[in-house]
């Protein structure tokens, strides 16, 4: 590949920032490997790439901006400390999302769940373009957001990992330390409740 | 006609069924209006979740995460240095203790410098079994050794932890 030749030319001392500055697109596994070799710019790039997704996962789970930001930061720090256990053959996103989901679960277990998500301050692009259709879609999504936050923490976490991170039943069971049959029943109950609340 | 249970519907939607099970479900859906309606309602939720729109990030987290990562790295370096210094201190203490004790161990003291590793281990095992001879060391020498060790401790801790505190102050 072109980028690997470019890296070879610039030698092992060339950092992730230099590589990215030359327009070289490093994949997540390469960035993780460079981080483990002491290149902190590489980890900065991983954070930049995944921060929005990690923040949104946390936001869906806790329903509060500040908590979501704190959880996202904590997740990246935990991931940095545990980076040696990350399997580079697998994608980075589900791994970091599993970490943030577990952190959010711990937080939810310590606290009473929030009643609702904060109001959105920003409109998505398609809402500005097609206000009426977007309004219906936005209302439906708001109903879903509210319903999601009414779920017990574990059902919320299972829905998050299955629907938003696309993890298999086995992976969810492993990530949350529960059995596959628990995953199935929590998914089933969670979806039932979501349907009931959204249709109400 | 037996309807599909909701568990099976969920497994079907999650693509967790085998090919034959999947084919059986699809065959049933083709023949059963009630199950088709139920499947369609379940799919709506899947679609709504798939169309979820992410929120914009309120602020870039990179700088704050990297500051904490830097703190973590410096903490790990300090711990490694501390372990190194503590190890060195223990070696110095052992050396000083040996130096003080050898002349007072009688025949054992003369043997020690000539002993090979196997003999060392045998002596260690015997001493563990019968107990160490406790040589008399004058209190002034004990006090001097303790003083040196305390000084070593203070100096190395100042070198290691002083820098970290200074960095914390800079951040504040």
Give pLDDT tens digits for B2-28: 888 888 888 999 998 999 999 999 999
Q: Are A58 and A106 spatial neighbours (Cβ–Cβ below 8 Å)?
A: no
Given a cut of 50, whether residue A2 has pLDDT beyond it is no
Closest chain A residue by Cα to residue B75: A81
Query: What is the distance between the alpha carbons of residues B152 and B88, in angstroms, rounded to a whole number?
Result: 10
With cut-offs at 50, 70 and 90, classify the pLDDT of residue A116: very low
Q: Are A94 and A171 in contact (CB under 8 A)?
A: yes
pLDDT, average across residues B77-100: 79
What digits encode the pLDDT tens for the residues B17-68? Answer: 999 999 999 999 999 999 999 899 889 899 889 988 888 999 999 999 999 9
| Distance to chain A for B37, nearest Cα, Å | 14
**Spatial distance between the Cα atoms of A28 and A24, rounded to a whole number of angstroms:** 13
On average, the pLDDT of chain A sits at 81
Across all residues in chain B, what is the average pLDDT?
Answer: 80
Res B166 pLDDT > 70:
no
At A126 the pLDDT is: 46
Q: What is the mean pLDDT of residues B137-166?
A: 74
Mutate to test the interface with A, among B12, B45, B46, B77 (most CBs of A within 10 A): B45
What are the CA-CA distances from residue B47 to residues A129, A140, A196, B55 (Å)?
22, 11, 16, 18
A3, A20 contact by CB (below 8 A): no
Residue of B nearest to A185 (CA): B7
Least CB-CB distance to B16: which of A59, A80, A169?
A: A169
CA distance A58 to A76: 12
| 8 Å CB contact of A124 and B16 | no
Distance from the A64 Cα atom to the nearest Cα atom in chain B, whole angstroms: 12
For residues A22 and A8, the model is more confident at A22
> What is the average per-residue pLDDT within A9-37?
71
> For residue B104, what pLDDT is reported?
67
Contacts of B43 (CB under 8 A, 6+ apart): B13
φ/ψ of B135, rounded to 5, equals -75, 155
Q: How far, CA to CA in Å, does A35 sit from each of A42, B75, B121, B133?
A: 6, 17, 43, 53
Find the mean pLDDT for residues A61-90: 94
What is the predicted pLDDT for the residue at A175?
92
A63 touches A114 (CB < 8 A): yes
Confidence of residue A102 (pLDDT cuts 50, 70, 90): very high
The predicted structure's pLDDT at residue A10:
40
Q: Are B141 and B100 in contact (CB under 8 A)?
A: yes
Residues of B in contact with A76 (CB under 8 A): 61, 65, 69
Q: Do B51 and A162 touch (CB under 8 A)?
A: no
Residues 14-43 of B with CB under 8 A from A: 14, 16, 41-42
Tell whether A47 is within 8 A of chain B (Cβ).
yes
**Burial (Cβ within 10 Å: 0-12, 13-18, ≥19) of residue A163:** buried
* Residue-by-residue DSSP string for B63-98: HHHHHHHHHHHHHHHHHHHHHHHHHHHHHHHHHHHH
Decide if pLDDT at A20 tops 80: no
Q: What is the DSSP letter of A80?
A: H
The pLDDT value recorded for residue B97 is 75
Average pLDDT over residues B103-112: 64
Note the pLDDT tens digit of each residue in A123-169.
444 445 555 555 666 777 888 888 999 999 999 999 999 999 999 99
Is B10 in Cβ contact with A80 (below 8 Å)?
Answer: no
């Amino acid at each position: 590949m072109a980028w690997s030749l470019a890296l070879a030319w610039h030698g092992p001392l060339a950092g992730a920032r230099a590589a990215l500055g030359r327009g070289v697109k490093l994949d997540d596994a390469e960035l993780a490997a460079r981080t483990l070799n002491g290149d902190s710019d590489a980890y900065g790039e991983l954070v930049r790439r995944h921060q929005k997704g990690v923040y949104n996962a946390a936001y869906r789970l806790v329903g509060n901006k500040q908590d979501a930001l704190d959880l996202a930061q904590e997740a990246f720090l935990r991931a940095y400390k545990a980076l040696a256990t990350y399997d580079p053959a697998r994608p980075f996103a589900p791994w970091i999302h599993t970490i943030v989901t577990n952190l959010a679960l711990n937080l939810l277990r310590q606290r009473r769940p929030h009643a609702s998500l904060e109001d959105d301050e920003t409109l998505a692009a398609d809402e500005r373009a097609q206000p009426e259709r977007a309004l219906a879609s936005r209302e439906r999504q708001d109903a879903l957001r509210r319903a999601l936050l009414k779920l017990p923490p574990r059902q919320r976490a299972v829905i998050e990992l299955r629907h938003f991170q696309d993890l298999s039943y086995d992976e969810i069971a492993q990530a949350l330390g529960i059995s596959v049959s628990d995953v199935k029943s929590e998914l089933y109950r969670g979806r039932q409740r979501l349907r009931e609340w959204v249709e109400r | 006609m037996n309807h599909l249970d909701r568990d099976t519907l969920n497994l079907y939607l999650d693509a967790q069924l085998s090919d034959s099970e999947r084919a059986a479900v699809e065959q049933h859906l083709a023949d059963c209006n009630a199950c088709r309606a139920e499947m369609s309602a379940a799919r709506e939720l899947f679609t709504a979740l798939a169309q979820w729109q992410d929120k914009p990030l309120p602020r870039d987290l990179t700088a704050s995460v990297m500051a904490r990562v830097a703190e973590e790295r410096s903490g790990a370096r300090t711990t490694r240095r501390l372990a190194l210094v503590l190890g060195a201190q223990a070696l110095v203490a052992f050396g000083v203790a040996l130096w003080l004790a050898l002349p007072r161990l009688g025949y054992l003291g003369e043997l020690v410098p000539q002993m090979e590793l196997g003999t060392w281990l045998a002596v260690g095992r015997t001493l563990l079994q019968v107990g160490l001879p406790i040589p008399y060391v004058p209190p002034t020498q004990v006090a001097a050794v303790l003083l040196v060790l305390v000084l070593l401790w203070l100096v190395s801790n100042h070198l290691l932890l002083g820098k970290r505190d200074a960095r914390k102050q800079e951040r504040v």
